[in-house]
Amino acid sequence: MVEEITELSKTSDRKRKALKHEALRDETNVTAAEGVAEKARLKHEGLVQDLERAISASRGESFPSTKGRFGMAKKSGAQVRFEVLS
């Protein structure tokens, strides 16, 4: 009887450790996936803003410049090309 209980204890301890390891691995995977999704969302938003600026520039509309570091105007590649062509 004691041997059976000892074996059951060892088995349950091994399963607990395996489940803990799997849960930590899954949590790491979820965190990494969330980071990739956030990075993709930010890139998408930036591309949408660049597209809107390019469309308004092609229509001849002016758009407010965004401020970058140190209060300097931040220009996208489309803005620079538009100014060079003008």
The pLDDT of residue 78 is: 61
What type of residue is 33? A
pLDDT per residue as tens digits for the range 42-58: 999 999 988 988 888 88
Residue 83: partners with Cβ closer than 8 Å, 6 or more residues away: 75
Rounded Cα distance, 14 and 81, in Å: 63
Q: Which pair of structure tokens corresponds to residue 19? A: 């489940």
The reported pTM is 0.54
* Residue ranges of domains in the chain: 2-85
The DSSP annotation for 35-69 comes to HHHHHHHHHHHHHHHHHHHHHHHHTT---PPEE-G
Give the model confidence (pLDDT) of 69-86 as tens digits. 555 566 666 665 656 555
